[in-house]
């Protein structure tokens, strides 16, 4: 029995030394220590050993097992170390190569401009409200003093879903919805996307954004409107900015005006941006028409108010000196990364 165990140990040590891989080493372990291994066969033969010899033989078998397991473990560590070293050599990292840059997005120029406008008006006590882009003809036109067949409809020819539902041409319908709620006084701005069947060019698009403001309270006058817009212009374009009001006509305001600001590029002296005039048109405004107040359930003899509307893209184009509106929608990284 002792000779048999010595032969198994010698054979095991020889095979372990010759094992070149962890897989081969595992095969050797199974062939010697497995259920059908050589050492296991010796243990099965213990029943044929004389009872008085079994303790001694059992000790010899355990010593042989321990010696073989120790040799297997040592060789496993050596082979694992060699495999790890080989892998490190094969996976060399060239630290001189440029690192991969993460492409991190940022806010769109329109979003930057909108947040700036909202910050200004929220600072003056206004609330930001929104409404549906798919609107009823009543809210988009009739409630704004633009009845059927009114010439002003031709200027805002839009996309109709049916004769009563359309894509809104302005965010003024949001103002009507706010007035109908009857919670007075009102001081809101309504930003959002609007739609008109315009041809695409450097200054027009069938889809763009507007920001409209509305104030309704007792004793509101045109002076309040002028002061509000003058403060807005100064905060948006600079402290030295001045405003100029030119008479105009809008069906939903009376009196109405277009508002110009001194060119922030040349300070009003005249340049390419302002086409030599020293002034740049930015928005339309006026006192809310009494009929609009009545249709929304507000008594024009008690309350008055003003409204104004500005194109978000126009602000972005002016503020960032962009000469083509289409650049805002082409999603060209070379352009957008500048902001």
Give the CATH number of the domain where residue 164 resides. 3.30.930.10
Give the chain's end-to-end CA distance (angstroms, integer): 87
Residues 259 and 137 in one domain: yes
CB neighbours (10 Å) of residue 60?
Answer: 16
- Provide the domain limits for residue 273: 109-336
Structure tokens at 31: 């062939």
Radius of gyration of the chain, Cα coordinates, nearest whole angstrom = 42
Say if residue 134 is in the same domain as residue 6. Answer: no
Q: Among residues 90, 123, 148, which one ends one of the domains?
A: 90
Distance CA(173)–CA(187), nearest Å, equals 15
**Among all chains, which residue has been given the structure tokens 């630290």?**
95
Distances (CA, A) of 322 to 209, 314, 327: 16, 9, 8
Check whether 211 has a pLDDT greater than 80: yes
Is 338:328 a contact under the CB 8 Å cutoff? no
pLDDT digits 0-9 by tens, 277-305: 889 889 999 999 999 999 999 999 999 99
* Per-residue pLDDT reduced to its tens digit, 42-76: 666 665 655 666 666 667 677 777 777 777 787 77
User: Residue 244's beta-bridge partner residues?
Assistant: 260
Residue 71 and residue 12 in contact, taking contact as beta carbons nearer than 8 Å:
yes
* Same domain for 284 and 135: yes
Nearest alpha carbon to residue 236 among 121, 106, 109, 111:
121
Is 196 contained in some domain?
yes
pTM: 0.66
User: Do residues 64 and 5 make contact, with C-beta atoms less than 8 angstroms apart?
Assistant: yes
Look at the chain and report how many structural domains it folds into.
2
Q: Note whether 40 and 184 are same-domain residues.
A: no
Residues 244 and 319 in one domain: yes
Last residue of a domain, one of 24, 55, 90: 90
């Amino acid at each position: 029995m002792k000779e048999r165990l010595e032969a198994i140990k010698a054979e095991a040590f020889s095979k372990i030394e010759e094992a070149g891989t962890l897989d081969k080493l595992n095969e050797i372990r199974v062939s010697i220590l497995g259920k059908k291994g050589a050492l296991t066969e010796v243990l099965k033969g213990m029943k044929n050993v004389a009872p008085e010899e079994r303790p001694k033989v059992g000790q010899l078998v355990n010593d042989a097992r321990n010696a073989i397991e120790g040799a297997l473990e040592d060789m496993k560590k050596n082979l694992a170390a060699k495999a790890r070293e080989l892998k490190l050599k094969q996976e060399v990292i060239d630290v001189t190569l440029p690192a991969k840059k993460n492409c991190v997005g940022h806010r769109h120029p329109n979003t930057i401009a909108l947040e700036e406008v909202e910050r200004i008006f929220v600072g003056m006590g206004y609330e930001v409200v929104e409404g549906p882009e798919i609107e009823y003809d009543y809210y988009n036109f009739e409630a704004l003093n633009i009845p059927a067949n009114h010439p002003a409809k031709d200027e805002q020819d839009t996309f109709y879903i049916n004769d009563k539902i359309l894509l809104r041409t302005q965010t003024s319908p949001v103002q009507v919805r706010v007035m109908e709620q009857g919670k007075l006084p009102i001081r809101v701005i309504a930003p959002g996307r609007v739609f008109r069947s315009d041809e695409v060019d450097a200054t027009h698009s069938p889809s763009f954004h507007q920001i409209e403001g509305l104030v309704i309270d007792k004793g509101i006058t045109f002076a309040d409107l002028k002061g509000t817009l003058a403060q807005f212009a100064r905060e948006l374009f600079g402290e030295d900015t001045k405003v100029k009001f030119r008479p105009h006509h809008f069906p939903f305001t009376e009196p109405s005006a277009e508002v110009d600001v001194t060119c922030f590029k040349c300070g009003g002296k005249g340049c390419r941006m302002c086409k030599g005039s020293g002034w740049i048109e930015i928005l339309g405004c006026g006192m809310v028409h009494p009929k609009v107040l009545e249709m929304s359930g507000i008594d024009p003899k008690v309350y008055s108010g003003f409204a104004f509307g500005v194109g978000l893209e126009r602000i972005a184009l002016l503020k960032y000196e962009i000469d083509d509106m289409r650049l805002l929608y082409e999603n060209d990284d070379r352009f957008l990364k500048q902001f």
